[in-house]
Amino acid sequence: MNAIVVRDPREQSLRNIGHISYLLHLIVAIGAVTPGAQASVALLIAAFVIDLAKRPDAAGTWQQSHFTWRIRSVLWAAGLYLVTAPLWLALIVPGWIAWCVISIWFLYRIVRGWMSLNDGRPMPA
């Protein structure tokens, strides 16, 4: 007989929001590493705003770490893209390599975070 797992509605709501946010981030991350498949920055901004708006709801829960993880991932990626943007203007190939590395790193962060959310584990600080 299968056991029925009853979750706290707040926890389930935060988990659903996490899945939606990770999905939006994943679409953008895959688009960033797939030539010719750039996803809209609007998706990334939507996910970022969702995370900022809902992070206070997760305060004191294990899921708070996921909101922080996603927000930090976006901020670090944006900062790294901005810092390496001049490479595109001066040296196309090094700029392309830098952006590929950043995009792969971002994709890794999203996949790692989503797997942890599925397993019910918090992200490291």
Complete DSSP assignment for 48-83: HHHHHHHGGGGTTSTTHHHHHHHHHHHHHHHHHHHH
**Which amino acid does the sequence have at 105?**
W
The tokens of 93 are what?
A: 């190939």
What pLDDT does 98 receive? 87
Please give the model's pTM, rounded to 2 decimal places. 0.85
| Percentage of residues of the chain with pLDDT beyond 70 | 90
What pLDDT does 8 receive? 82
Q: Convert 4-39 to b/e letters by CB count within 10 Å (16 or more is b).
A: eeeeeeeeeebbebbeebbebbbbbbebbeeeeeeb
If one compares 1 and 123, the residue with the highest pLDDT of the two is: 123
Confidence of residue 6 (pLDDT cuts 50, 70, 90): very low
